[in-house]
């Protein structure tokens, strides 16, 4: 039995195993992550209905190029003009009421108050004359003290009435009443300003040069306040909103180059870069934990349309002319990395230092040199080990 085991060990140590191999060489190492994204304009203008009403006229058509300041849509302005007239009337009424309060009433009220005061003053003068006459008669013994007292009472009433009318004429309304009316004037002015703004907004103009890419309404349609009327964008300036799965988020950073492919034009590739790397994780479509990433399109040239779906590939690692070998050749024990270098037909376990790694290749920063040959694996189910005799598969 011992002899058989020894013979088996001898054959194992001296048999030649066919292995696949690779040469250590300098190459570029590139890592990428891909996902889907949706194209959107970087500079977009959305025209919304400033008020509920009828679309009066649409001056442009879909895909039309427009210049800055060109009229796009006009709402029917009859309701807006009516609102301005009503707001102007309300403001005039509020101002008139304020003036009346500040001057003690309307003109008719002031004329009536003046007439009432003049009448009361005449009655006051008559009461004074009557009292003086009765006092003289009393001195002559022709009038009684009670008559003098009654005449004095009538004068007191006349004086009181004159005083009341004078006070009412000068301070009929309190400062609180005037403040309330001033607030009503301010509110009426704000309503008029808003109505005038709405009237001005019935004519909608292009804020910049671009392409009309959506017109969801037709002439004479009724729309509610805020409804979409038209979309305009500069199609030469586009961006992509892409969603990367959570494990890839840490690889992304601002400025990384991006290649973009659209299935409708599979032979064309656009280019861009990461504008805003994800800063948080959200749930997308109810199933994926993703990070939202904003990507610029540096060469859109009007060919990518808003709202289309594209595939984006972000280059997260790109180093040039580094010593590398296939990842399959690298072995790890604990924290140590090693390869099996082939020397004179035998495997030599060789410790190596590792740099960056992608899915296919690994950077070697020490332990082996350019031109060395390393084993990838045996062509049969044999584990590689130090000292094993091998033959490289041709």
Tens-digit pLDDT profile for residues 22-56: 999 999 999 999 999 999 999 999 999 988 899 99
The ranges assigned to domains in the chain are: 15-43+235-394, 44-75+213-233, 83-196
Give the per-residue pLDDT at 12. 52
| Mean pLDDT of all residues belonging to the chain | 87
% the chain with pLDDT above 70: 90
CA distance 100 to 103: 5
Give the per-residue pLDDT at 313. 96
At a CB cut-off of 8 Å and minimum separation 6, what does 15 contact?
389
- The yes-or-no verdict on residue 126 having pLDDT over 60 is yes
pLDDT band at 290 (very low <50, low <70, confident <90, very high): very high
pLDDT average, residue stretch 380-386: 92
Fold of 15-43+235-394: Elongation Factor Tu (Ef-tu); domain 3 (2.40.30)
82 membership: H or E segment, kind and range: helix 78-102
CA distance 1 to 37: 68
Q: Is 9 helix (H, G, I), strand (E, B) or coil?
A: helix
Give the per-residue pLDDT at 103. 65
Give the per-residue pLDDT at 47. 95
Give the per-residue pLDDT at 109. 63
Provide the CA 377 distance to its chain's centre, in angstroms: 55
| CATH class, 44-75+213-233 region | mainly beta
Give the per-residue pLDDT at 167. 67
CA dihedral (172, 176, 181, 186) in degrees, to 10, reads 150
Q: Express each pLDDT in 200-233 by its tens digit.
A: 889 999 999 999 999 999 999 999 999 999 999 9
Using alpha carbons, list the distances in angstroms from residue 75 to 65, 195, 219. 21, 14, 9
> Taking the CA atoms of the chain, what radius of gyration do you get in angstroms?
48
Q: Express each pLDDT in 79-122 by its tens digit.
A: 888 989 999 999 998 888 877 766 665 566 666 766 766 787 78
Sole residue written with tokens 């949706």? 38
CA distance 337 to 365: 12
Q: Is 362 helix (H, G, I), strand (E, B) or coil?
A: strand
Higher pLDDT, 103 or 19: 19
pTM: 0.62
pLDDT band at 170 (very low <50, low <70, confident <90, very high): low
Say whether 44-75+213-233 and 15-43+235-394 share the same fold: no
In a 13 Å sphere around the CA of 286, the CA atoms on its Cβ side amount to: 0
CA distance 283 to 373: 48
DSSP conformation class of 299: T
């Amino acid at each position: 039995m011992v002899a058989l085991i020894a013979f088996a060990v001898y054959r194992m140590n001296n048999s030649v195993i066919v292995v696949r191999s690779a040469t250590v060489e300098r190459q570029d190492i590139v890592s990428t992550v891909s996902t889907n994204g949706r194209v959107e304009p970087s500079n977009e203008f959305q025209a919304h209905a400033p008020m509920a009403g009828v679309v009066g006229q649409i001056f442009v058509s879909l895909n039309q190029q427009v210049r800055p300041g060109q009229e796009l849509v006009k709402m029917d302005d009859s309701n807006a003009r009516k609102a301005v007239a009503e707001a102007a009337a309300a403001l005039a009424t509020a101002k008139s009421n304020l003036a009346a309060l500040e001057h003690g009433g309307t003109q008719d009220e002031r004329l009536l108050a003046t007439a009432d005061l003049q009448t009361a003053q005449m009655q006051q003068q008559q009461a004074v004359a009557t009292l003086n006459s009765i006092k003289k008669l009393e001195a002559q013994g022709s009038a009684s003290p009670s008559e003098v007292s009654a005449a004095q009472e009538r004068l007191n009433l006349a004086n009181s009435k004159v005083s009341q009318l004078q006070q009412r004429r000068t301070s009929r309304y309190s400062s609180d009443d005037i403040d309330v009316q001033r607030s009503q004037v301010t509110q009426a002015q704000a309503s008029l300003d808003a109505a005038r703004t709405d009237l001005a907004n019935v004519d909608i103009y292009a804020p910049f040069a671009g392409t009309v890419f959506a017109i969801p309404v037709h002439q004479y349609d009724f729309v509610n306040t805020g409804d979409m009327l038209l979309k305009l964008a500069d199609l030469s300036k586009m961006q992509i909103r892409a969603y990367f799965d959570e494990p890839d988020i840490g690889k992304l950073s601002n400025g990384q180059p991006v290649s973009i492919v659209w299935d409708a034009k599979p032979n064309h590739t656009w280019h861009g870069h990461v504008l805003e790397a994800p800063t948080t994780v959200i749930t997308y479509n109810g199933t994926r934990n993703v990070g939202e990433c904003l990507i610029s399109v540096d060469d859109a040239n009007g060919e990518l349309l808003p709202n289309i779906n594209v595939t984006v590939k972000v280059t997260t690692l790109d180093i040039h002319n580094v010593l590398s070998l296939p990842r399959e050749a690298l072995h790890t024990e604990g924290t140590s990395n090693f390869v099996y270098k082939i020397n004179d037909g035998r495997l030599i376990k060789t410790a190596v230092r590792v740099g960056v790694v992608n899915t296919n290749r690994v950077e070697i920063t020490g332990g082996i040199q350019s031109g060395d040959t390393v084993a990838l694996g045996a062509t049969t189910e044999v584990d590689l080990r130090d000292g094993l005799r091998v033959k490289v598969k041709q």
